[in-house]
Amino acid sequence: MLEKTLLERSHVPFSGQGSACLIEGKKGFLYPGVRLEISSFPISISSVQAAVCSCLANQDEPISVKWFGNKPELFDFWCDLFRLSEMKKQAESLSLYDPMISTSDPDILLQTLLDFAVTPASDFPVSALLEIHVNDQTAWVPGVNVEPGPWSLGLCAERVAVSRALSAGYDPSGIMKIHAPKAEFSSPCGACRQVLFETMPNYDLELFHGDGSRSRHTVFDLLPMSFLSTSLQKDLRENKPDHS
């Protein structure tokens, strides 16, 4: 049941190959992660990367793992990096981590969230809050940047928030607040802009700058002339006429 639900959450418009993962953390939570494919393939997020980063972003330590569907990309690498064992416990005996937070003051939460950033390499904390709606109530999914070891395999705060939301079955449905107190000007990197463009194109970003000022922008405006190609979509490709 959980397996089917998680696989359905994977966002795989290009490969059509669902992949999901569960990481058991030392705190007793089970962190879900689903594959998130982006039209610029190299910035896609593997299901195990999503689950491990969600765990680390909750100041937790990954201890065991289980996967469903297609084997997650770089699975053996993540297992070696954190010496993950195969999950023996029944998933149902652990509580599924739910990233949703209800708060009347998300701007304060954005500040306190900075303490969760995992930044041994950069010492440059970033926090992000993604608005969702649950039972007609506004709630937030938090993200912080995570540097697990190799620089290229960590995730920015914005991508942790988006992949956590999708892995938990929440649709982005409002703004994303982003705070990088050590930046001259808080602004999502190019890779995050592409991910945000493909997952929440019609929403705004509210940027909280180091000097206390703020600015608001649409995701669309932050990525003019963005990369997209319908020819990458698997279902369209399969229906193409054969010119051979």
Residues classed as catalytic: 158
Cβ of residue 15: shortest distance to ligand THU, in angstroms? 26
Dihedral class, residue 83 (left if φ above 0, else alpha if ψ from -120 to 50, else beta): left
Residues in the chain: 244
Q: What's the closest the beta carbon of residue 42 comes to ligand THU, in angstroms? A: 16
For the bound state, the minimum distance from the C-beta of residue 145 to ligand THU, rounded and expressed in Å, comes to 3
Residue 142 interacts with ligand THU (CB under 6 A): yes or no? no
**Binding map of ligand THU across residues 121-140, x = CB under 6 A, - = no contact:** -x-x-x--------------
Contact 149, 179 (CB under 8 A): no
User: Is residue 147 a contact residue for ligand THU (CB under 6 A)?
Assistant: yes
Q: Answer for the pair 240, 232: CB distance below 8 angstroms, yes or no.
A: no
Q: Does residue 145 sit in helix, strand or coil?
A: coil
- Our finding on whether 158 is near ligand THU (CB under 6 A) is yes
Residues 55/113, Cβ–Cβ less than 8 Å: no
Q: Does the protein bind ligand THU through residue 173 (CB under 6 A)? A: no
Q: Is 188 in the site for ligand THU (CB under 6 A)?
A: yes
> CA–CA separation, 197 vs 223, rounded Å?
7
User: Which candidate, 44, 84, 47, places its Cα nearest to that of 64?
Assistant: 84
22 binds ligand THU (CB under 6 A): no
Task: With contacts defined by CB under 6 A, name the span among 5-13, 102-110, 149-157, 168-176 that binds ligand THU.
Answer: 149-157
14 vs 147: CA distance, rounded Å: 27
Q: Establish if 189 lies at the interface with ligand THU (CB under 6 A).
A: yes
Span interacting with ligand THU, options 169-177, 185-193, 221-229, 232-240, rule CB under 6 A: 185-193
Q: How far apart are CA 144 and CA 55, in angstroms?
A: 11
The verdict on 15 binding ligand THU (CB under 6 A) reads no
| Residue in 23, 40, 21 with CA at minimum distance from that of residue 31 | 23
The contact set with ligand THU (CB under 6 A) reads 119, 122, 124, 126, 145, 147, 154, 156-158, 188-189, 192
